[in-house]
Each structure stands twice: as C-alpha cells, then as structure tokens.
Structure 1
Amino acid sequence: MSWRSYCICFTICTLITILPVIFIEIFSPSSVNFHVTETLLTQFNLTNNNTLYFNFKVNITARNPNKNTIVYYRRITAIAWYKDNDFAYVSLTPFDQGKKNTSFLQTAVFEGSSVIKLKHRQLAEYYIETRAGVYNDLTIDLDMRVRYKYGSIKSTRFNPPIVQCRLRVPLISNGTSISSFNDTKCSNSYFFVDRDAGD
C-alpha cells in the first residue's frame, strides 16, 4: 500500500469514527433538568399496624435548556417513596414545554393512608426522624411518557429514564417546622432516550 493510499484509508477510518460523535454532540438536545422547589409535609404518622397516614405536597419544575427543542409531556406520574416503600402516586397534568423554558409541573398532592413494611433498622430511623421533625428518605419519582420536536423533526412517543428526587423534608406542625426545605435538584440519566429501548 502506498503512503497516499494509507493516508486516505486512515482519514476515512477516522471520519467514520469521529463523525457520529460530532453528530451526537451537535444535534442531540441537552437533558431536561428537574428541581423540587417546595414541599409541605403536615402529616406523616406510622401506626403499629404498619399503616402510614400522610399529607404531603411537592412543587416541581422542569427546565428545558434547548433553543431548538420542544418537549411534549404526554403522561406524568409522580410516585412517593419512603425508605424503599412506595406509598402513593398521582397523575400530573400533561403539557407542552417550549424552548429554553422553565415550567411548573403542577403541585403533586399525596394524601391518605398506605400500608408499608419497614425493616427493623428503617423503623428505628423513622422514630429518630420523627423526634427530629425531619424525614431524610422521602423520594419522588417521575415516570413520564414524552415526545419531542427538534427543529422540524418530531420523535415518536417514548419513556425517558425515571427522574428521582431524593428529599430531606421537614414536618410542619402547628404551622411551624424546625428547619426549612432547600431547593433540591433531581437526578436523572440523559432525558432524550427511551429507557425501554433495549427490552
């Protein structure tokens, strides 16, 4: 093989390797970011028969940082967890999110009762947290079905990765709490992929 042929072959191989990466970097939208901005926990009582009575409200925002992408939220389910036990869920109102936009996802209201089974260590932690007036292991998961439009190209509907909001929530008793809630960023994988694509 001549030196010129080698250079051409090397250049082609390099382009084949690099071009998909460049394409992804240029044309893939940035991930949507979610924050819990406010919580209101006024009841969180666990009885001897493992029944949890709760009144819990959460405000969540979504930030679409992209200047070329519109996100269409077609289903949003907020699921409340405490120490690995899901105890309530609520459906939030679908909406369309414009470019470079921060949207409020409606207040998620969890109210009622549910049977949960805490392990011995988790139960001990619950009593410690109750005495302290702050619950450390409350989590809100967002299970969504979306589609998006990038420029003039619109995706099919898909299920992005679950968004997890791990919270430290003060209990409000008689209108007061011992501490304030801090704005909390939720964790999620890259938003614009279908989590079921490999199934």
Structure 2
Amino acid sequence: MADTKSSHLNGAYYGPPVPPQHSYRSMGRRSSCCGPCCLLSALFKLIFTIVIVAGIIALVVWLVLRPKEIKAHVTSATLTQFNLSSANNLQYDLALDMDIRNPNKRIGIYYDYIETQAFYDSDRFGFGNLSPFYQGHKNTSTIHPEFNGTQLLLGDSVTTTYNREKSEGYYYVDVKVYAKLRLKIWIFKIHHINPKIKCNLKLPVPGNTNSTGSFEETKCHVDY
C-alpha cells in the first residue's frame, strides 16, 4: 500500500500544461513623425518664433520712439492775380507760406523731394519744385510755394464756377504738396516715405469788395 502511494508521487505529471511565464519590459513609443513632416513642423515653429520676436522688437521700438505724423498749416496766402479769359486761359499769381511741423522727439526728417501743385475746379494750373532740406526733432519749417503764369483750363464747368465764386468774393483753390521723406532714427535712415499734403484754400478775390475778410490760416490734411 505504501509502495503504491510512493510510485504515484514519484511518477510523471499528466495534468494540464502550465503556461510559459513571459518576461515583459517597457518599450519606448516609436515616433510617428516622418522625415518631411518633422522638417515642416520644425520650419513652422522657426517661422512662428521669428514672427513673435520681430513683433516684440517692433513693439519695443514703437514704445521708445512714439512716432507722430507731421502737421501742416498754410499761415498766409497772397493772391494778386486770378483772371479767366473767355478762352478759359487763367492768369494767376499766388504765393503761400506753409508751416510743416515735426512733432517727434527722436526722429529727424530729410525732405529729399518736394513738388507743389495748384488746382482750380479740379483742374491743375500751377506746378513747382522746392529745395530739399533737413528738419530736426520737434521743429517747424516754413516752405514757400509760389505759382504764377498762364494756363489753359479744360474743365467744362470752370467758367460757371469762376463767375459764381468771383461774385461771392472768394476763390476756392486746392494746393497739394508731394514729398519724399527719409526718417533719421539715431544713426539709421529709413527710405522712403511719400506723404501727400492737401490744403483747401479760401482766397479773397483781389480788389473785390464782396470779400468780407482776409485769408485765414488753414490746416492741411496729411495722407500717407
């Protein structure tokens, strides 16, 4: 009886198979980024960083400089001749004093080119160029546009406009100044800014008693 039990204990095992024990180890996640995708992603990040840095630099520069637009006024105007013939030839003699103000504390302005034009009833009749100059910080400079000569006006309504304004005692003339500017910031010079100055002038008719007053100082509009 004891021998039977011993033979069963020492014999082979015929039970269900024991599953093999596997050893697991953590595997790093494989990158899903392909070559071109990684390159585009890095390029986008670089461009985004450059844009952000450039924006911050521009903001700092603006806060330091606080740039302001130039201001312009026509302080005096002398119209000694403004006669329209039956053939629409205009004889004119007009002289102006125009103050241009640079309100900036840290920006100087080079006026490299200054062109002046005069218009009546939307028709140009006068043209001229002025000498270049430099304008310092918080400085006011005076320019002197002058127009004189004879010019054929081609507008259909010019005769009607001229006769009406002459009877009312005032001619309405537009003067425009086209300029090319460089800004001087410390030792740097920035090329080129091209503002247009437009002045709508109300000029008393020479020798006409219907003109109730003299020329009044006129603020001009500066368009960039």
- Same fold per superposition (TM over 0.5): yes
Match of 1:181 in 2: 215
Shift of 1:20: 7.1
* Residue 53 (1) aligns with residue 127 (2): no
From 168, 175, 179, the equivalent of 1:144 is 179
Structure 2: distance between partners of 1:90 and 1:168: 21
Q: Give the unaligned 5+ runs of structure 2.
A: 1-47
Range 139-148 or range 122-131, more displaced: 122-131
Match of 1:31 in 2: 69
Shift of 1:118: 2.4
Maintained 8 Å contact 2:101/2:140:
yes
Shift of 1:127: 0.6
Shift of 1:101: 0.3
Question: What letter is aligned with 1:60?
Answer: M
Q: Which has the higher contact order (CA 8 A, sep 6+)?
A: 1
Match of 1:196 in 2: none
SS of the equivalent of 1:182 reads coil
Match of 2:127 in 1: 89
Question: Normalising by the residue count of structure 1, what TM-score does the alignment of the two structures yield?
Answer: 0.77
Match of 2:169 in 1: 133
Structure 1 residue runs of 4 or more that deviate by more than 6 Å after TM superposition: none
Question: Normalising by the residue count of structure 2, what TM-score does the alignment of the two structures yield?
Answer: 0.69
SS of the equivalent of 2:76 reads strand
Tell me the percent identity: 31
Q: Deviations over 1:31-52 (max 9, x none)?
A: 1111111000111111111100
Cα separation, partners in 2 of 1:86 and 1:23, compared to 1, 3 Å: farther
Shift of 1:152: 2.3
Structure 2: distance between partners of 1:98 and 1:119: 45
SS of the equivalent of 2:214 reads coil
Shift of 1:188: 1.5
Match of 2:149 in 1: 112
Structure 1: distance between partners of 2:60 and 2:71: 22
* Residue 72 (1) aligns with residue 91 (2): no
* Residue 98 (1) aligns with residue 136 (2): yes
Instruction: Find the structure with the greater CA-based Rg.
Output: 2
Structure 2: distance between partners of 1:167 and 1:20: 42
CA RMSD of aligned residues (A): 2.6
Q: Deviations over 1:115-158 (max 9, x none)?
A: 012223x432211111122112x1111011221201222112x2
* Residue 123 (1) aligns with residue 159 (2): yes
Q: Deviations over 1:70-107 (max 9, x none)?
A: 111111111111111111111112111010001111x2
Maintained 8 Å contact 1:68/1:151:
yes
How many residues were matched structurally? Answer: 174
